[in-house]
Amino acid sequence: MRSKSWLAMFVGSVLAVVLLSASAPAAATPDKEDPTAWQFAITPYIWLPSLSGSMKLEPSAGDASGNLDNSSDNSLENLDFVGMLDLQVRKGQWSLLADVIYLDFSDNGTAQFPGALPGGGEWTTAADWQLQALVFEFAGAYSVWREGGGNLDLLAGIRYTTLEGEASLDIAGPLPDWVRSPTYSKTESYVDPIIGLRGNLGLGQKWFLPYYFDVGGFGVDADLTLQAFAGIGYHFADWFSTVLGYRYLYYDFGGESELMEDLSLYGGTLGFNFTF
């Protein structure tokens, strides 16, 4: 599959960097950081999430409406493409954060049309679906605690999300009277405020525990959106570290969305942090 080939190349390239970094002498971490100095961090990372959600099959006037379960637990089989990058800029207690995620899922499932049959019965049929998601987050943060290798930052920002969903009903023969077209497609965008916290807990000179949590939406676009992350990291040098963790991203789009009722993305991550 296309996703497996480019993923193998990416992982191989990053592992080569990790091995070179691990074999190089580790630079000593300064005891005190210059509060007036700018610090930049770039973190490409791998996230192969499972997906759980419900796509709305909103027809044109006169057709029966339905829904399609978008659950997908086999990331490597159902992910057609992924791309992630995290950027951070810090000066003293203040920092700016940016995170970009692109996901392209495809799978098959069962479409349900409640009340479509005579007498109010439910009609179901197999369907192929595709869901593309672009998530961009931008936030500002302020450190309320920073000591040794640990810190706690409070943050506020926005989460911009674009979802493009397509579904194709697997119907052999003439279409039922309540289905005008076997294909459904919809694109929607959401801009939601978020507030949260993030930080690290130091475990000696090399190991650390990063964490992150935000909540938002508040009915602006999504009724609710939240994200959580926890992991464990290791400093190979003062300019390079890796982080292994688990990430969860959730949306409740409410009744106004014509594409999705809700969406959850969850799974393990592996990140490679370059600081300069």
The C-alpha angle 10, 14, 19, rounded to 5 degrees, equals 145
8 part of a folded domain:
yes
Alpha carbon 159 to its chain centroid, in Å, reads 11
Helix or strand holding residue 122 (H, E): none
Is residue 128 pLDDT above 60, yes or no? yes
Beta partners for residue 51, in sequence order: 72, 265
Q: Model confidence at 59, in pLDDT bands (50, 70, 90)?
A: low
Is residue 270 pLDDT above 80, yes or no? yes
CB 52 within 8 A of CB 261: no
Total-model pTM: 0.84
Return the closest-CA partner of residue 113 out of 165, 58, 71.
58
39 part of a folded domain:
yes
Number of domains in the chain: 1
**Average pLDDT of the residues in 54-59:** 80
Least confident of 22-26, 141-145, 147-151: 22-26
Cβ neighbours of 29 (radius 10 Å): 12
Is residue 53 pLDDT above 60, yes or no? yes
- As a whole number of angstroms, the distance between CA 158 and CA 14 comes to 30
Return the closest-CA partner of residue 88 out of 41, 120, 134.
41
pLDDT tens track for 60-82: 555 557 788 877 766 677 888 88
Buried b (16+ CB within 10 A) or exposed e, 240-268: bbbbebebebbbbbeeebebbbbbbbebe
pLDDT tens track for 216-269: 999 999 999 999 999 999 999 999 999 999 999 999 998 888 899 999 999 999
pLDDT tens track for 152-193: 999 999 999 999 999 988 876 677 766 667 888 999 999 999
197 part of a folded domain:
yes
- As a whole number of angstroms, the distance between CA 262 and CA 244 comes to 27
One-letter amino acid identity for 150? G
Local structure of residue 121 (DSSP, 8 states): -
58 is in which domain, residue-wise?
A: 2-25+35-275
- As a whole number of angstroms, the distance between CA 209 and CA 203 comes to 7
Is residue 58 pLDDT above 60, yes or no? yes
30 part of a folded domain:
no
Local structure of residue 78 (DSSP, 8 states): H
Q: Report the CATH number at residue 258.
A: 2.40.128.90
pLDDT on residue 10: 47
87 part of a folded domain:
yes
225 part of a folded domain:
yes
pLDDT on residue 22: 44
Alpha carbon 83 to its chain centroid, in Å, reads 10
CB 33 within 8 A of CB 13: no
pLDDT tens track for 195-219: 999 999 999 889 999 999 999 999 9
- As a whole number of angstroms, the distance between CA 47 and CA 249 comes to 12
**Average pLDDT of the residues in 37-45:** 96
> Tokens representing 167?
């579904």
- Greater model confidence, 5 or 233: 233
How far, CA to CA in Å, does 193 sit from each of 98, 125, 188, 215, 219? 14, 38, 17, 8, 10
> Tokens representing 143?
């450190």
- As a whole number of angstroms, the distance between CA 229 and CA 271 comes to 12
Q: CB-based contacts of 243: which residues, under 8 Å, 6+ apart?
A: 43, 45, 210, 231, 232, 233, 269, 270, 271, 273
pLDDT tens track for 95-126: 999 999 999 999 988 888 777 677 767 778 88
pLDDT on residue 39: 95
